């Protein structure tokens, strides 16, 4: 478990490094996912290298979890040939074929059917016995392709899992500012699909449930849905703080914890690890960040 916690801390420090570099305009704006580190690392720790990831423009936490090499990620953001996608895909479409991240779409809802196709290729046209996971957000479930893909995937019996990161934030608006609530559990139940709900701050308690749902998907060739509620600490895109009226204030000098409550997985890890151990790991990570930032 400590290995996983260390990976989550590393994912956070890597994103804080990218945030600082964006402030210096080292590369084009990135859709950071500060707050998503725990989910990305836990999924990565459960799924193996054969399992396939289909992501969105906000793919950075998962790319960092799979690659764990910030230099290759920075190269990609700088469109350099030693980047994870040969410097050809940049931020929003970042993929990493060596780590089975085969598609990232910046078009909301576009990746559902592409993930379904990948899952058909894996399970029906070859016998790979892996899970394809499509990761997206609460905005994308407003697209028709979400509903279409549920119907199709359910009809075709494929090992596909759809993870909805509900951070109550899409296209710079809260859910209540654009629509009425959607009850994913009821939608899943109406189609007889396996569904897992993870509330705010519950992630570390639900690791076994996530394992179980992937195991069910893989074993039975069945679609499953995971909905996780979490908070994204950064703005839509670009550095925080960004433009003058940006209310989000994120500085690496303030340490790894961004919010002192259970919405921040790093705050929870401090409790799990104990202050002494956490402070030690935080210091190691911040020194590492200084070394990386000096390189660029």
Partner 1 sequence: MQKEYLNYINKKLQNKIRGLNNFFIYGQNINTGTYISGLTKNFKVKKNSLIKNTPNSESSLIGMGFGIMMKNKSAIYFGKQLDFLLLGVDHFVNTLNQIKVSRPKLGCFTIFLYVCDQGYQGPQSSFNSFSDLSSMCGFETFQLNTAFDAEKIINKKLSGKGFKIIGISSKLCKTKILQKKPVMYTKDYKIIKYCEGNFLTIVCFNFTLSKAYEVTKDLENKGKSCDLFHINYSNKNDYVSIIKSVKKTKKILIIDDSKSENLEGYKLINRLKNKNIQFKSQIIKREKISWEIQDDSFKIDSKKILLKF
Q: Which residues contact partner 1 (rule: CB under 8 A)?
A: 54, 85, 88-89, 93, 95, 97, 102-103, 105-107, 110, 112-122, 124-126, 144-145, 148-149, 151-152, 155-156
Spatial distance between the Cα atoms of 163 and 263, rounded to a whole number of angstroms: 18
Q: Assign residue 64 a region: left if phi > 0, alpha if psi is -120 to 50, beta otherwise?
A: alpha
Tokens describing residue 105:
């779409």
In the bound complex, what is the minimum distance in angstroms from residue 193's beta carbon to partner 1? 15
CA atoms within 13 A on the CB side of 278: 15
Bridge partners of residue 164, in order along the sequence = 136, 227
Nearer to partner 1, 112 or 233 (CB): 112
CB atoms within 10 A of CB 1: 10
In the bound complex, what is the minimum distance in angstroms from residue 119's beta carbon to partner 1? 8
Nearer to partner 1, 114 or 273 (CB): 114
Nearer to partner 1, 12 or 99 (CB): 99
3-state class (DSSP) for residue 261: coil
Nearer to partner 1, 28 or 106 (CB): 106
Nearer to partner 1, 21 or 94 (CB): 94
Tokens describing residue 40:
């990305």
In the bound complex, what is the minimum distance in angstroms from residue 217's beta carbon to partner 1? 17
In the bound complex, what is the minimum distance in angstroms from residue 147's beta carbon to partner 1? 8
In the bound complex, what is the minimum distance in angstroms from residue 280's beta carbon to partner 1? 41
Kindly give the pairing relationship between strand 194-198 and strand 224-229. Answer: parallel
Nearer to partner 1, 44 or 110 (CB): 110
Spatial distance between the Cα atoms of 160 and 148, rounded to a whole number of angstroms: 14
In the bound complex, what is the minimum distance in angstroms from residue 33's beta carbon to partner 1? 20
Residue that is written with structure tokens 């190269």 in the block:
75
Spatial distance between the Cα atoms of 8 and 25, rounded to a whole number of angstroms: 26
């Amino acid at each position: 478990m400590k290995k996983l916690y260390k990976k989550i801390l590393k994912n956070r420090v890597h994103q804080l490094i990218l945030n600082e570099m964006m402030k210096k305009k080292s590369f084009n704006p990135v859709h950071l996912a500060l707050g998503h580190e725990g989910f990305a690392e836990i999924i990565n720790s459960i799924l193996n290298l054969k399992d396939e990831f289909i992501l969105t423009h906000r793919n950075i936490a998962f790319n960092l979890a799979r690659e764990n090499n910030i230099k290759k990620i920075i190269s990609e953001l700088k469109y350099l040939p030693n980047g994870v996608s040969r410097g050809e895909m940049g931020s929003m479409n970042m993929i990493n074929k060596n780590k089975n991240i085969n598609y990232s779409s910046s078009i909301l809802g576009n990746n559902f059917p592409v993930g379904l196709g990948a899952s058909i290729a894996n399970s029906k046209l070859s016998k790979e016995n892996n899970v394809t996971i499509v990761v997206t957000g609460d905005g994308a479930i407003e697209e028709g392709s979400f509903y279409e893909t549920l119907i199709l995937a359910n009809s075709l019996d494929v090992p596909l899992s759809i993870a909805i990161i509900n951070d109550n934030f899409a296209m710079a608006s809260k859910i209540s500012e654009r629509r009425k609530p959607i009850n994913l559990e009821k939608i899943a139940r109406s189609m007889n699909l396996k569904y897992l709900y993870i509330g705010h701050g519950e992630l570390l308690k639900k690791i076994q449930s996530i394992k179980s749902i992937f195991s069910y998907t893989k074993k039975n060739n069945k679609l499953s849905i995971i909905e996780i509620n979490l908070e994204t600490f950064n703005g839509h895109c670009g550095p925080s703080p960004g433009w003058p009226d940006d209310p989000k204030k994120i500085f690496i000098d303030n340490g790894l914890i961004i919010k002192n409550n259970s919405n921040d997985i790093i705050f929870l890890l401090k409790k799990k690890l104990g202050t002494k151990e956490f402070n030690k790991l935080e210091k190691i990570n911040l020194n590492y960040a200084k070394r990386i930032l000096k390189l660029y």
